[in-house]
Amino acid sequence: MAEASQLFKEFKIQSVSEFFRRNAAMLGYTGKVRSLTTLVHEAVTNALDACEEAGIPPYVRVEIEELGSEHYRVVIEDNGPGIPEKYISHVFGKMLAGTKAHRNIQSRGQQGLGISGAVMFAQITSGKATRVVTSTGGEIVEAWVKIDVDRNEGKIIKKERHPNPKGWRGTRIELEVKNVRYIRSRQGVYWYLKLTAIANPHVHIELVEPDGRLIVFPRSSEEIPDPPVEMKPHPRGVLTDDVYRMAKKTRRATVKRFLVGEFSRISDKKVDELIEYIAALRLIKTEKDQKVREQLYERLVKGEVKAVLRSFRGYTKVVKSVAKIMEKPPEKLSWHEAEEIVTAFKYMKFLAPPTHGLRPIGEENITKGLRGILKPEFVTAVTRSPKVYSGGIPFQVEVGIAYGGEIPSGFDVFRYANRVPLLFDAGSCVTTIAARSIEWKRYKVDDPDRTPLILMVNVISVHVPYTGTGKQSIANVEEIYNEIRLAIMDAARRLQTYLSGKHRRLHQAKRKKTFQRYVPEIAKALSILTGEPEERVSEYFISFIENHFSTKEGTAEVSENA
């Protein structure tokens, strides 16, 4: 048998960068087309988030230059606030670093892996550094960045400064990548940017394809979304480790002030209630009779905490000992005490978390985006009221439906999370599962595969429950699934009303043509019987038919509008 010292001879600590260098597929870099789309996606989402937080109407330009077989230079430029020079190496060269991952805030990027992952992919396929040109309004900084994978650090291998007489502000990134392909597929860069334009009508997007062709998706709305607002965590959506770690970092003087100040829906009164619940849970554990213990837990769920406490002798001592925890410094809170707090949260009743930090696209802007890009004959949108999942994480669902016009035949689902298109892993996504569960025949869509129909679904949240680090599929969470279904059915009912009216109009038009077809024969026969000129008889019947069907069409329109 080998000795332990021999087994551990090759023991090595692996950095985050090294891990993702070996497992780039976890970040979405798998397949030649998908890898190129993922790279562009990471830069574009950063650009849009930065512009919106700064209140700037976003302008994004993507240039893809072919350098050789499966070898490209990718340039992404934006008009955002720029990046301060001291943060360049951190933004582009350090995994799990950024302005979003540590905040409870709705944003397109959430993990701090995106753009540094793109730099990593470019580096491991071409060996070249990423060129970054940026300015916050002062001088222009030009830097070439590489990642030190052993230390998970960005290194600037070359840097230059340039004057900025025109006061340009923004960021331009140039990455050289190999083993990727640009094609106009449903999973390629063109389609990704087209879908981005639909969900972000306030964005102007330009794409220069490898053959030099310029494609422009102009903004169709001047309304910039309000910048996202950081939201305090809700007590029903936290783990023991969350409370324990937050307590170590807070600047609050006591545990009570920490709970009131760092969480939503917790007041001084709620802390007093929390003390009673923790005390009750401690006492219930001392009850030896399992049946009685279960009954006490049931009463606690019903909110009968005071009655549960009074069923134990000397309960006031336990209440006082718990109250002392609330007065101690937060950094001295033990894991066990944090666990008691989180367990008590599960039995308590709280108001739903505030949703002021969520930023939906909005029904009007969804309509503008779908109409401006797809040119349909009918479009409608639904934005549902905010809800929560996992007990305390707020989310919101939006749905848009576009029908007919320039849309080709075939039912298609456009999936989004926080306005970002999800092009891959559709089968496991809750959006796809919910869309497939709808009985479309009930809404006058008899054959979806031959119907020119687009369904757009956007899920927004401070924590979108993705199924993987590639962020291309949303987990099948029951609350989210139900909300998507309700939103789709609401929008589908409006489509049903439109299609019913359309079918009525087509039926009336068919009947009108049938009557008009027999007018010449009727006019000829009546002319012989009455002696009236054939033309006069024909004019009378044509006028009668026109008046009859125009009246019916007008009644149908009034009925539809109502």
C-alpha distance from residue 253 to each of 241, 256, 259, 338 (Å): 20, 8, 11, 16
The Cα 157–Cα 433 span in angstroms is: 48
pLDDT-derived band of residue 282, with 50, 70 and 90 as boundaries? very high
Contact 540, 546 (CB under 8 A): no
Give the span between the Cα atoms of 427 and 197, in whole angstroms. 24
Predicted pLDDT at 555? 47
| Rounded to 5°, angle at Cα 57 from 213 and 364 | 95
Q: What is the pLDDT of residue 507?
A: 57
**Are 425 and 473 in contact, with CB atoms under 8 Å apart?**
yes
Query: Among 4-18, 104-118, 225-239, 465-479, which stretch is predicted with the lowest mean pLDDT?
Result: 4-18
What sign results for the dihedral spanned by CA atoms 478, 481, 487, 490?
negative
Burial 463-474 (b: 16+ CB within 10 A, else e): bbbbeebbbbbb
Q: Residue 173: name the closest of 66, 69, 55, 93 by CA.
A: 93
Average pLDDT, the chain: 86
Note the pLDDT of residue 124.
87
pTM of the model: 0.73
Give the gyration radius of the chain's Cα atoms. 31
Percent of the chain with pLDDT over 70: 86
Query: Within 13 Å of residue 133, how many CA atoms lie on the same side as its CB?
Result: 14
What pLDDT, in 10s, does the model give residues 333-367?
999 999 999 999 999 999 877 777 788 999 999 99
Distance CA 285, CA 287 (A): 6
- Distance, in Å, from the CA atom of 118 to the CA atom of 452, rounded to the nearest integer, reads 36
Residue 111 has pLDDT above 50, yes or no: no
Confidence at residue 506, expressed as pLDDT on a 0 to 100 scale = 63
Q: What is the mean pLDDT of residues 389-410?
A: 90
Confidence of residue 259 (pLDDT cuts 50, 70, 90): very high
Dist. CA 79–CA 48, nearest whole Å: 9
pLDDT band per the 50, 70, 90 thresholds, residue 255: very high
pLDDT surpassing 50 at residue 559: no
Torsion of CA 40, 44, 47, 50, to 10 degrees: -120
The residue that leads in pLDDT, 550 or 141, is 141
pLDDT confidence of residue 399: 97
Q: State residue 509's pLDDT score.
A: 65
Q: How far apart are CA 403 and CA 411, in angstroms?
A: 10
Calpha distance 432→435 (Å, rounded): 5
Q: Strand, helix or coil at 484? A: helix
Q: What is the mean pLDDT of residues 169-183?
A: 95
> Which pLDDT band, with edges at 50, 70 and 90, does 112 fall under?
very low
Tell me the C-alpha distance between 203 and 187, whole Å.
21
Cβ atoms < 10 Å from Cβ of 330: 23
Residue 229: predicted pLDDT: 75
Q: Cα(first)–Cα(last) distance of the chain, in Å?
A: 84
Give dist(CA 439, CA 428) in Å, integer: 20
Look at residues 257, 273, 354 and name the one whose alpha carbon lies nearest to residue 306. 273
pLDDT band at residue 4, thresholds of 50, 70 and 90? low
Residue 57 has pLDDT above 90, yes or no: yes
Highest mean pLDDT among 259-273, 344-358, 389-403: 259-273
C-alpha separations of 204 from 155, 196, 198, 374, 376 in Å: 32, 10, 11, 16, 21
List pLDDT tens digits, range 484-525: 999 999 999 999 999 887 666 665 667 667 767 777 888 788
Mean pLDDT of 149-162: 86
DSSP 250-273: ---SSHHHHHHHHSTT--HHHHHH
**Helix (H), strand (E), coil (C) string for 224-242:** CCCCCCCCCCCHHHCCHHH
Residue 459's identity, in one-letter code, is V
Distance of CA 416 to the CA centre of its chain: 5
Residues pairing with 494 in the sheet: none
* Alpha-carbon distance values, 487 to 262, 383, 434, 510 (Å): 33, 7, 10, 35
The token duo for 110 is 């959430």
Which residue blocks in 264-419 are alpha helix, DSSP H? 268-286, 290-301, 305-310, 315-327, 335-347, 363-374
**Helix residue spans in 110-153 (DSSP H):** 114-126
Residues 6 or more apart from 150 whose CB is under 8 A from it?
15, 17, 18
Contact 154, 209 (CB under 8 A): no
pLDDT band at 561, cuts 50/70/90? very low
DSSP 423: -
Task: Give the residue ranges of DSSP H helices in 23-168.
Answer: 32-54, 88-93, 114-126
Mean pLDDT of 38-56: 90
